[in-house]
Amino acid sequence: MLAAVLTSLRPRQWVKNLFVFAGVVFAQQIFTPLVWRAAAAFVIFCGLSGAIYLFNDVADVDKDRLHPQKKQRPIAAGALSIRAAVAIGLVLSAACLAAAFSLSPVFGLTALGYGVLLTAYSAWLKHLVILDVLTVATGFVLRAVAGAVAVDVEISGWLLICTILIALFLALGKRRHEYRSLTGSAVAHRPILAEYSEGFLDQMISVVTASTVTAYALYTMSAETVAKFHTRLLPLTLPFVLYGIFRYLYLLYRRDLGGNPSDLLVNDRALLVDALLWMLATLAIIYGSRWTG
């Protein structure tokens, strides 16, 4: 049963919660004790998102049994009972929210808002065209905001815009993959897919791709960014962002991958190396200017 619970918590998806570190990183506080508060926020969000995955699997158990891969999930396969999943989810979410409020009342409210939003997504919002992907993207923004309020630092509006755009990019790519891979059973598993078409998804992906690159480029060159980090070198990280986006598009359109962006980041070596190089270059630029100044 323990293995079934751990699988249902989806630890491979916890990489999404790394967005909570955005605040402490871009506030140039990663080498201060504040990083431990950010780490605590990360753990809390991992537990909270795990509980939400449990509730989501309970709500979707019948539909998951129609899916070629998701039918192997513990709840759908019968390895974890619905009653046990709900009980574990309730205890885990209560513990995480209690820890969140003890860390900071504002952080606790943000974590609660995240939990309510994602629960509403599982129950209702994922059945509303366009709002389904916007809700997923908003979840990423709340992660970044939660990380910032946990350590009591400001987070740039530009970074929030970039966060919601890249999250939309990944969510739309996932929808496109689902639309193509599920063929005749797509509507039975996820009825909202009937409201989309491949051409419509491609148009939205194109718009969001261009917007993401433009927003990130403007952020790196903005007067606010230059004044904050005392450097004009941040645009040098743009090639890593371009390669990462183009690599994902290549995997989505030419390899029919993209159904699980988190797994793709871990399993595709080129994408993983690119993400690591972007991170190292960004840290070297924004912290190097501070040390040399």
Residue bearing the bigger pLDDT, 289 or 268: 268
Please report the pLDDT score of residue 194 as a whole number.
Answer: 81
pLDDT tens digits, 235-259? 999 999 999 999 999 999 998 887 7
Q: Which of 23-27, 93-97, 120-124 has the highest mean pLDDT?
A: 93-97
Tell me the pLDDT band of 72, cut-offs 50, 70 and 90.
confident
For residue 8, pLDDT over 80 is answered with: yes
Which of 155, 173, 192 is the last residue before a domain boundary? 155
246 and 205 within one domain:
yes
Which of 126, 155, 184 is the last residue before a domain boundary? 155
Please report the pLDDT score of residue 184 as a whole number.
Answer: 58
Q: What's the pTM?
A: 0.89
Across the range 84-97, mean pLDDT stands at: 95
Please report the pLDDT score of residue 183 as a whole number.
Answer: 59
86 and 18 within one domain:
yes
d(CA 118, CA 15): 17
pLDDT tens digits, 137-177? 999 999 999 999 999 998 888 889 999 999 999 999 999 98
* Number of domains the chain is built from: 2
Neighbour-count burial of 262, counting CB atoms closer than 10 A to its CB (0-12 exposed, 13-18 middle, 19+ buried):
middle
Whole-number average pLDDT of the chain: 90
pLDDT tens digits, 191-237? 788 888 889 999 999 999 999 999 999 999 999 999 989 899 999 99
Cα–Cα nearest to 170, from 292, 275, 39 = 275
Q: Find all residues with CB under 8 Å of 29, minimum gap 6, and list them.
A: 35, 151, 153
Which of 133, 155, 177 is the last residue before a domain boundary? 155
Residues above pLDDT 90, as percent of the chain = 63
Across the range 92-117, mean pLDDT stands at: 96
Whole domain around residue 7: which residue ranges? 1-155
Across the range 72-91, mean pLDDT stands at: 88
**CA angle at 111 for the pair 108 and 116, rounded to the nearest 5°:** 125
Tokens of 167: 């999250």
**Cα dihedral across residues 245, 251, 257, 262: positive or negative:** negative
The CATH number given to whatever domain includes residue 31 is 1.10.357.140
